[in-house]
Amino acid sequence: MVKKAELYVTSGIAVMSVLALVFLNDLIAKQKMIFGQPSIEPDLFPALTISCLLLLVGGLMVKIIFFAETEVFDDQDNEEAEDQSYYRIGSYFAAMLAYGIFLDDLGFVISSCLLVAFISFLLGSRSFVQTLALAVIAPVALYVVSTRGLKVHLPELDVIERAIQTVFQVLGLS
């Protein structure tokens, strides 16, 4: 499992490095000769680094393919990695990306409530009251501390911002 993953990663980096070296002139803008000859061309250091990277990746690939027995990995780690719930991890990432996409539109409090509730459920929490309490209290508390205490901007719907403002006014804290 690890050997395969290593091979995929090194192959991926090797392909990227070769492509970068081939198309280096297109990926890096040419230095303008306004103030005379520059001390260093903008592509010199990247070209050196990527060439070194390619050499190192080549060395590692040779090691993985021909001398794989020298790499000793913990079997327990492999089993753990294989036992990981890909469904949960995939859902977790999907929820995080959705959070990023809808954060501006739904506002911080609502999108965070949904995120917290979803992840709690995903990780096995089946107590409705506990999940609801966590999903409501934590985002509201973080929003209030961030915007009032640390003076940080977080995107929020006018309705919710006004509601929080009203609560603060009632409590005499605004």
Partner 1 sequence: MLEQIIEGLFLTLRVDTFAFMAIGLFGGMLVGALPGFTTLMAMAILLPISFFLDPVVGIPFLLGVYKGGIFGGSIPAILVSMPGTGAAVATTADGYQLTKKGKSRKALDMALFSSVFGDTASDIFTLLMIVPIAYLVLQFGPPEIFAILTMSVVIVAVTAGKNPLKGLIMLAFGLWISFIGSDPIGGMERFTFGLFELRGGIPLLPLLIGLFALPEIVKIVGRTNVGEASVATILGERLTLAEFKRCLRTICRSTVIGTCIGIIPGLGQMVAAVMGYTAAKNASPVKENFGKGELEGVAAAEAANNAVNGPTMVPLLTLGIPGDNVTAILLGAFVAQGLRPGPTLFSEQGPVVFGILIAMVFANLMFLVIGYLSIPAFARIITIRSNLLVPLVTMFAVAGAYVYRSNPNDIIVLAIFGVIGIIASAAKFEVMPLVMGFILGVPLERAFGQSLSLANGEILQFAIFERPAMVAILVATPFLAWMLRKKMYAD
Q: How many CA atoms lie within 13 A of 128 on its CB side?
A: 0
Packing angle, helices 75-83 and 2-22, rounded to 10: 80
In the bound state with partner 1, the residue whose beta carbon lies nearer, of 77 and 169, is 77
Question: Which residue lies nearer to partner 1 by CB, 22 or 169?
Answer: 22
Which of 19, 9, 20 has the alpha carbon at shortest distance from 61? 9
Query: Which two tokens mark 159?
Result: 């309705």
* Beta carbon of residue 1, minimum distance to partner 1 (angstroms, whole number): 8
Integer Cα distance of 70 and 34 in angstroms: 54
Q: Are 91 and 84 in contact (CB under 8 A)?
A: no
Least CB distance to partner 1 at residue 170 (A): 26
Residue 138 vs 166, nearer CB to partner 1: 138
CB of 128 to partner 1, least distance (A): 14
Q: How far is the CB of 164 from partner 1 (least distance, A)?
A: 16
Query: Given the complex with partner 1, which of 22 and 89 has the nearer CB atom?
Result: 89
With CA atoms as reference, report the closest residue to 131 among 141, 123, 120: 120
